[in-house]
Structure 1
Amino acid sequence: MAAAFAAAALIVPGPFVRPSAAVAGPANISILFDLGDGGYDWSHTLLLSPTAVNATWNATLAAATQLGVTIKWNWYACCGVAVSDVGNRNPPAGFVGLYKWDGAQNRWQFTSTGISNLVLSDGDSIALYDAAFDGVTFAGRYPVPSPQNPYPSMQFRGDATNSGTSNSKAPNSVRVLWDHDTGVSEIGSTPSVAYGKVFVNSRNGLFALNESTGQEVWRNRIVHGVSSPSVFDGGLIVGGSDGRVHWVNATSGAERWNVSLLTNPGFSGITSSPKVVFDRVYLGTFNESGGPGEVVSLWASNGTMAWRHAASSIHFSSPAVANGMVYVGLMGTYNRTTGITFDPPFGILALGAAKGDLKWFFPTNGSVAASPLVSGNSVLSSSKNGYVYSVNATSGAEIWRANVGAGISSSAEHGGILFVGGGGFGGAGRVTAVASSTGGILWALVPNGPVQSSISYADGKIVFSTNTANGTVYCLDAATGEVVWEFVPTPAQYILGSPSFADGMLFTPSDNGHLYAIAEASGGPLNITVEQPSRISDAVDARVNITVAASFGAATDVTLLVSFVARNVTPESLSPFRHEGLSYTWKLGTIPFGSSREIRVLVKGLCVPPPLPPGSGPITGCGTTGAVGFISMTSSTRQGVSFPAVIYIFKVENWATTGPAPTPSATLFLAIGIVAALIVAAVALSVAWRKRRGH
């Protein structure tokens, strides 16, 4: 029986295995839905009865329903459920893969049991992957997101549709976690982040840096340019200044294959960033001799040419792939006389993804260096003539156009809003929020220079940088356009490369040759929240909840130290393994990705009777306002990587409950005249967590 649900699950059939009654429940599990084209998402769910029939399958369906992803599946008497498609992506192999995370090996492993018979334990993670098998050889492949590094940035513009969005959290403030000087200038590419590493292409080589520390892991000087790397199945696929496309091992930097696309690459070579979708790589070429360029499709496994289609030059634009079609911006024919301009034809080109056959061409009155974005049945793209266009994805007919001062920046789209950057080199810049369906302007911001980097969206925010002498990275509230924070890299320089969100951080390059990691907090994969009442009494217990969550990756060997200055402290949950005075230490052990541990403590404040104002009458209650609690969180990896302490501050009002309530004058007197540390919580969190490569 076949079925299609508004849910997502991926499985391979396996031998029927009866669930083991020995597995205890309930179980907190994480499920990765990887669509094979750069799109993915996680769900964290609770299995109340892990050994129940179809428990994992039902949980997967429920999780996917919440995410709004569709599946196609079949039932086999021998094996149970087998899924043939997730997200209407039509994987070339005809079915999808099911994996379980192997914590000992730090990698995904194919399961030998189908999902309907798979029994999971607390902390387990499974992955459901559309591109699990090569469409020709059926060789197995492995997802890039993992519990250790759950939110990678795998390719320029994020996914096959060039949405420019990320499911990662985004920093709410500027905290430079690290600053790495690559020793080169003019980093024009966009960083990719995966496997615990940051990959950046430059004119002096391809670099891999440690995601947590910024330390160099490897450098390949043969591969260089401004094309941004795409991460796929343990490797990087990237265009080079030598006119070749290279496949480089993500762990070592060693090259597996390369293929030449340009006989005379000139100075620039390949400037388009590869788009990897299942078995295929799509990108364009820039002909610096003034002749035609090409749109090219390669087989991802070995670089063999699938097809090539002649066109005018593709300069910077990265193809979007959707609906069985490829959409790319045409810069035009390079004018060798001026050396800086392009001649028609320029516009948006649509080809068949399978064979490269022409579907339609939409001309614009200006070069298109931006990467087209597909949203529903619309293709959205900026042009250097200042307009942003919406074109029917099937026919190429214009839907609307809006003059918003657009330029070469690639847009991002989320929630029906298109975020468009604009401005020419040396001129003013602008970022405009446009209604995707109508082109109506919602808000606009003028930054300190032209926006020629691309815009990225995550967690209700957008980021971009300005290509001016005092280049600045901006973070805006996506709904209002208000500035959340700004960051000016030093030494000051122009910025053409685009920032990337990954694993709760932002990675941004500068033409000064530095790459920066910005993180709101530096507690590794963990974050911490505290819930406390607004008033702490000297007579009645108040509950303080401290929650440690593995929001950005799995954590192991977690230790929590809490120190209070209070009259009385009573731990309410998780017996501490060490207790000295009012200091308590808990061993929290392993916190799986997406899970959390909560400490509940009952506290009473100290009573410091205040002097009585004249005429106020007897007051037996006492207290103060503005008492401050401090939470200090530190973490480190098993590889010896340490993160600086993060200090959290919260305020409470401490007040006694005995006796009559104080008069307003007494309250004011207490608020400004008494300084008493009635409850100060100092929480030191030390963590050793695994940050090894996930396959």
Structure 2
Amino acid sequence: MKNRNLFLLLISMVIIGLLPMAASASSWPSFQGNNNNNGVTDEDITTTFATNWTSQTAAGDYAGLDSGAVIDDNNVTYCVNYNGTVYAFNLITGAQKWVNTNIANNDPYSYEVSVPAYNNDRLYVGLSNGNYGNTNIGSTIYALNATTGAVVWYNSSDTYFPSNYQIDSPIKYDSGKLYFSSVEFDANYNTIGGYFYCVDASNGNVVWRNDSSTRGYYGAAPAIIDDYVVVGDDAGIVRSFNKATGSLVSYLDASAYGSIRSGIVYKDGYIYFTAKPGYLLKASISSSGILSNLQSSSSFGSGVYSTSTPAVTDDYIYVGTDNGDYYNPIGTVKCFGTDLSLISESSNLGGLIKASPVVTTNTAGQERVYVTTNNNTGKCYWLTFNTTSERFTNSGYWQPNGSTYTLQGIAFANGYLVYGNDAGYLYGATGF
């Protein structure tokens, strides 16, 4: 009897092996693809852009899609335009599934940059100038039904979300909670304050809020690391909070290197981030959330800046740079070792790189890096880094119709990359 059962089991395994296997679905549910913000995938990303689509969203006087796209596990991509209009598109065809204009405002000078987060048929959106029932309600966090675009809940309480504060940083979802931050500007656009939040994803109630930052959080994505959430602020301080209680566990003073506008990246016991004046930094984080051993690269050079979140693979760290000059832009990708030594640098890509790199490790012997450029011809570049010679050896780009200034980088899932630009175009492409 045992032999007969074994025979039947083997036959079943052979039959199953002959059946066509469904492609494994992937997603890109938040900024840089996951809660560690490392922007790395082992799936192949196109270099031909052979199959592609373009979809139009509304654009303002100087902004369109400056918030990065996210992708769910059902081949739908979501984006938020300059005034808070939220769109859902089919990832494969580019066809619009729905649009929510009800939470948008009518200010042509709006500038929404917070990257939303997706989880389990909910899209979480943070707006600096929210709207509901044709009433401007200022800084607001929303949950939308990802199938229909309808508002499930929102929180615009002035007690927690003062109208003079902006939600300008990516949102992260983790275990039923949302983590994000805000910033306040003075009349000269200097950062002067801000809050870090934990919000209940089921109803929008604020679980805790920390107000210890003197400069607030501008573009800085938090990383979720086990029981802790770690984030850098515009004063150059990195904080580790207990994600359940909000208690401050540890902090690092990196203010000597300048403002932190990159996300925190976590990998193998270390955090990585950039400082705006042009430094790559690294620190240890213990299993109890304690930050220590701050290390820095050499300066990127005079007049070289970075707000780019590093992409961290097993052996290399990739960072986008810019010279801050929109009239004579210079932007490169730098590759560092995990000891923060500079290994290689790309040629000038002809535009400022504000985007955070995305890297595929799919091909043995090389890592391919994807960035967009923030200039009037805004392109999507790929650069091949040869891991034997440790040099950038090949590159190419995609420049679809309507290409222009592109602030955010790509999102990628199931063979398709997507990104948007200041003209309000959302682009999708694959090599299939």
CA separation of 1:165 and 1:225: change in aligned 2, threshold 3 A: closer
Cα deviation code 1:406-447 (max 9, x no counterpart): 411112100110002112xxxx32111111233223531122
Does the aligned pair in 2 maintain the 1:243–1:264 contact within 8 Å? no
Separation in 2 of the partners of 1:431 and 1:520? 19
Provide the residue aligned with 2:67 in structure 1: 227
8 Å contact from structure 1 (residues 225, 269) kept in 2? no
Output one character per residue of 1:611-650: Cα deviation in whole Å (capped at 9) or x when no partner.
Answer: xxxxxxxxxxxxxxxxxxxxxxxxxxxxxxxxxxxxxxxx
Contact 1:381 1:390 in 2 (8 A): yes
Q: Indicate whether 1:412 and 2:412 are aligned.
A: no
Q: Tell me if the contact between 2:29 and 2:119 (Cα under 8 Å) persists in the aligned partners.
A: no
Q: Is 1:360–2:208 an aligned residue pair? A: yes
Equivalent residue number for residue 32 of structure 2: 157
Q: Secondary structure at the match of 1:497?
A: coil
Query: For each residue in 1:301-349, what CA deviation from the matched residue of structure 2 results, as whole angstroms up to 9, or x when unmatched?
Result: 11111211222444441111113211101123x54x33x23554x1211
Q: Which residue of 1 is the match for residue 230 of structure 2? A: 380
In the aligned structure 2, how far is the partner of 1:19 from the partner of 1:237?
49
**Equivalent residue letter for 1:237:** Y
Q: Distance between the aligned counterparts of 1:361 and 1:354, measured in 2?
A: 17
TM superposition shift of 1:450: 2.3
- Give identity over the alignment, percent: 17
* Counterpart Cα distance in 2 of 1:373 and 1:495: 22
Gaps of 5+ in 1: 1-17, 22-49, 57-117, 129-142, 146-152, 170-193, 197-210, 522-526, 528-689
1:661-694, CA deviations, whole angstroms, 9 ceiling, x for partnerless residues?
A: xxxxxxxxxxxxxxxxxxxxxxxxxxxxx953xx
Q: Aligned with 1:420: secondary structure? A: strand
Matching residue of 2:313 = 458
Amino acid at match of 2:349: T
Deviation at 1:516, TM superposition (A): 0.6
The residue aligned with 1:166 is 40
1:271 pairs with 2:113: yes
Structure 2, unmatched stretches of 5+, are 59-63, 388-429
Please point out which of 290, 300, 303 is paired with 2:146: 300
Partner amino acid, structure 2, of 1:241: Y
Confirm or deny: 8 A CA contact 1:285 1:295 kept in the other structure: yes
Task: For CA contacts below 8 A with separation 6 or more, give which structure has more relative contact order.
Answer: 2
TM-score normalised per structure 1: 0.46
Alignment partner for residue 190 of structure 2, among 341, 354, 363? 341
Aligned length: 347
Which of 238, 241, 245 is the aligned partner of 1:391? Answer: 241
Residue pair 2:29, 2:118 contacting (<8 A) in 1 also: no
Deviation at 1:157, TM superposition (A): 2.1
> Is the Cα–Cα contact under 8 Å of residues 236 and 249 in structure 1 kept in the other structure?
yes
Amino acid paired to 1:419? Y
Matched with 1:476 is 336
In the aligned structure 2, how far is the partner of 1:442 from the partner of 1:126?
45
CA distance in 2, matches of 1:51, 1:227: 52
> What per-residue deviation string (whole Å, max 9, x for no partner) do you get for residues 178-202 of structure 1?
xxxxxxxxxxxxxxxx9x6xxxxxx
**What's 1:330 paired with?**
182
What SS does structure 2 have at the residue aligned with 1:287?
strand
Equivalent residues of 2:84, 2:130 under 8 A apart: no
The structure-2 alpha-carbon separation of the partners of 1:403 and 1:288, relative to structure 1 and needing over 3 Å to count, comes to farther
Aligned twin of 2:379:
514
The structure-2 alpha-carbon separation of the partners of 1:316 and 1:505, relative to structure 1 and needing over 3 Å to count, comes to farther
Q: Separation in 2 of the partners of 1:277 and 1:373?
A: 17
Give, in angstroms, the shift of residue 265 of structure 1. 4.1
- Tell me, in whole angstroms, the C-alpha distance in 1 between the residues paired with 2:108 and 2:245: 36
Please say if 1:436 is aligned against 2:285: yes
Shift of 1:484: 2.8
Aligned position for 2:398: none
Q: Deviations over 1:190-217 (max 9, x none)?
A: xxxx9x6xxxxxxxxxxxxxx2314572
Q: Is the 8 A contact 1:282 1:297 kept in 2?
A: yes
Distance, in Å, in 1 between the alignment partners of 2:238 and 2:81 is: 29
Q: What is the CA–CA distance in structure 2 between the aligned matches of 1:482 and 1:516, rounded to whole Å?
A: 24
Contact 1:230 1:275 in 2 (8 A): yes
Offset at 1:403?
Answer: 1.5
Aligned pairs (5 A) from 1:663-682: none
Which protein shows a greater Rg? 1
Asked if the contact 2:39–2:357 (Cα under 8 Å) also holds between the matched residues in 1, the reply is: no
User: Which position in structure 1 is the counterpart of 2:344?
Assistant: 485
